[in-house]
Amino acid sequence: MAKRKLSVAVLTALHEGPLRYSKLHHAVSQASPDVVHARTLTDTLAYLRAHDLVEHHQGDDGADYRLTHGGVELVDLLGEIDRWSREHRASGGRT
């Protein structure tokens, strides 16, 4: 359950661009009202990698996590749903 709960925060943080593990942990911790344990983040990253939403990239200057094409599409879709929700909440559901 925690993996799914933290997934949106991880995807959102990575939407800005690739992050090293420590920077990602910091970004997710700032966005969460609860303490984010390293093990929970590691499990969440494994879950997102297994679903081809996040990839672990090893470069000459170190390793980072980044969204796959599918991950970018999902975050964009979630943003559209959020926008739609705010518009309809503001209008009281009237179109």
Which pairs count as long-range contacts for 10-14, CB under 8 Å and 24+ apart, including other chains?
Answer: 10/41, 10/44, 10/45, 10/48, 10/54, 11/48, 11/53, 11/54, 11/67, 11/71, 11/74, 11/75, 11/78, 12/75, 12/78, 14/54, 14/65, 14/66, 14/67, 14/71, 14/75
Which band of pLDDT confidence, cut at 50, 70 and 90, is reported for residue 5? confident
46 pLDDT higher than 90: yes
The model carries a pTM of 0.84
Convert the pLDDT of each residue in 8-30 to its tens digit: 999 999 999 999 999 999 999 99
Domains and CATH numbers, the chain: 2-90 (1.10.10.10)
